[in-house]
Amino acid sequence: MTQPLCPAWANVAKPVIGMVHLPPLPGAPGFKGDLPAIRGQVLADARALRDGGIHGLMLENFGDVPFFADSVPTHTVTHMTALATAVKAEVDLPLGINVLRNDGMSALAVAHAAGAEYIRVNVLSGACLTDQGVITGKAAELMRYRKEIGAEHVKVLADVRVKHAAPLADRPLNEEVDELVQRAAAEGVIVSGIGTGHPTDPKLVEQVKSLALDTPVFIGSGATPETLARLSPHADGFIVGSYFKIGGRLANPVDPQRVQAFLDAM
């Protein structure tokens, strides 16, 4: 039997996590210089997701393009911590942290400081080719760091065949999933399409779920009310960003009515 990732989801059949996409933060090329406006937008999106009935949140530095492959600057970590803390104080929902492109150590530090419940790591094990170059998983360092700072309660969700990336070599899916769960110690597996907002292949979800066994499997992109019937039978939860925005456009604010429509379709 698949165990819920968070105690708050004990009675939720398939939790839906809504993305809180951060605008460009200080240091990023797109930063506009208005920190109060960033805070206001972030809190407004978090409240809109809550008001739509969402089960959890995921805060991500989506506006910081182009992304660092690994470690982000200290100021990015501090601003994400401040924003995550503000969200936790205002919206009583489980919160996750994703520090793009692949800074799991910083995500864990932010989560621990802000009281978040989980993090997302795009490449936890293995290696892949991305627009940031070759990214290599650091499961050993991350899991030891989690132990060192006493953050074992913060769960780690990790992608298998992550979006916006290509494998360095073809490998059997069963080996990838087994190593992600058994050897890298991921507590949740994420399956996505080829990029942000792109549909996830239902057959791939079915295969991953059969291999992950008791480990929760989340859909990481492209979920809509129209695709739920094909995706839901083999998914334990959903991470949704684009669909929840006004008009389904990623750059727009969250629309609580779209959130409610998605949950109604569940």
Using DSSP, state whether 54 is helix, strand or coil. Answer: coil
pLDDT one-digit tens code per residue, 84-142? 999 999 999 999 999 999 999 999 999 999 999 999 999 999 999 999 999 999 999 99
Averaged pLDDT score across all residues of the chain: 95
* pLDDT, tens only, 34-91: 999 999 999 999 999 999 999 999 999 999 999 999 999 999 999 999 999 999 999 9
- For the domain with range 15-265, which CATH number is right: 1.10.101.10, 3.20.20.70, 3.40.50.300, 1.10.3720.10? 3.20.20.70
Q: Across residues 156-180, what is the average pLDDT?
A: 92
What integer pLDDT is reported at residue 1 of this predicted model?
A: 54
Q: How many CB atoms within 10 Å of residue 69? A: 18
User: Burial of 228 by CB count in 10 Å (0-12 exposed, 13-18 middle, 19+ buried)?
Assistant: middle
Residue 171's alpha-carbon distances to 108, 137, 179, 183, in angstroms, are 29, 16, 11, 16
Cα angle value 93/55/207 (rounded, 5°)? 130
The residue ranges of every structural domain in the chain are: 15-265
Residues 32, 47: Cα–Cα separation, whole Å: 23
